[in-house]
Amino acid sequence: MRDFTKFGRILVPMITPFHNSDQSVDYKTARKVARYLKENKLCDSIIVAGTTGEFYALNFNERIKLFEEVKDEIKNEVPLIAGTGSIYVGEVIEYTKIAEKLGYDAIMVVAPYYCKPEQEGIYAHFKQIAQNTSLPVMVYNIPLFTGVNIAPETLARLCKIDNIFAIKDEAGVNPLQATEYIRASKGRIPVYSGDDTMVLQVITQGGVGVVSGGSHIIGHEMREMIDDFISGRVEKAKELFQKLFEVFVSFRGLTNRINPTPMIKAAFELITELPTSTPRMPLLPATDDEKEFMKKILKKIGKI
């Protein structure tokens, strides 16, 4: 298996704060969010401009500015992973070259979305990106949002490329895909769960950790749960998962939101009092009722 230890077991895709007045990026608060995650030891690595960071709603200059601000704030205190995904491979490479120049430690690239390419196109996309950078590349599979699933056979081909070092899998309808990836790649590629609710299931299958938006709030508990499970304290890990499950469900809000980002941002603001609850349209912020609902959950687990 390729070495994942530099990046650790808990990777947090940090939220991107926006000003409530005009939805412009709040870079000052973004620096504070990154600092909070690092100082409170909520993660092993920080991902900038991931899905929870609403990368799809940032224009080119905003994403680059975000890369710059977070890197300037965190320097080399924890590994930084740049989310450089886009539909067009040329744009991904452009983002990636800038991230490499800024000193990022790796990139995360989501499967090309909307256009629904065949597997050969997915393979060509990632191959061209990897060949144009010396940075480690994390492949990101989230078929619920992209409309395409990276097949295990495609990952088996991709893992022959030296700097493709891991996959984040949010398989959705196929909870056993982590096993299929590990078998297809002959164990060469570390698999991270992309779904907080699936972390124990993925680790049971041979996964190594989680890319966790929820760890903005429950990063310490997430670490304890993973450590307990890996150390053989399975019953303790299971009990903690049952406690956290209510938190994970609360990120769906009161209307079973598909994208949990607005609820994660609202919860983070409740805990830190940093102005982070505004998402960028078309996502809408948590309602007053949802915030009250979230307060009850956070009080129940002792976060506020």
Tell me if 276 sits within 8 A of 268, measured CB to CB: yes
Distance, in Å, from the CA atom of 148 to the CA atom of 66, rounded to the nearest integer, reads: 28
Q: Which residues contact 282 (CB under 8 A, 6 or more apart)?
A: none
Q: Residue 196's closest CA among 242, 232, 245?
A: 245
The distance from CA 272 to its chain's CA centroid, rounded to whole angstroms, is 20
Q: Residue 9's closest CA among 37, 63, 45?
A: 45
Q: Which residues contact 147 (CB under 8 A, 6 or more apart)?
A: 113, 114, 116
Amino acid letter for position 239: E
The neighbour count for residue 75, using CB atoms within 10 Å, is: 10
Active site residue 140: yes
Q: Which residues contact 28 (CB under 8 A, 6 or more apart)?
A: none
Q: Which residues contact 257 (CB under 8 A, 6 or more apart)?
A: 251, 263
DSSP state string for 131-142 = HT-SS-EEEEE-
Tell me if 255 sits within 8 A of 287, measured CB to CB: no
Distance, in Å, from the CA atom of 63 to the CA atom of 55, rounded to the nearest integer, reads: 7
Distance, in Å, from the CA atom of 300 to the CA atom of 124, rounded to the nearest integer, reads: 48
Tell me if 1 sits within 8 A of 31, measured CB to CB: no
Helix extents (H) in 9-142: 27-39, 60-74, 89-102, 119-131
> Which one from 168, 181, 192, 265 is the annotated catalytic residue?
168
Paired residues of 11 in beta bridges? 45, 211
> Which one from 27, 104, 140, 181 is the annotated catalytic residue?
140
- Which residues carry out catalysis? 140, 168
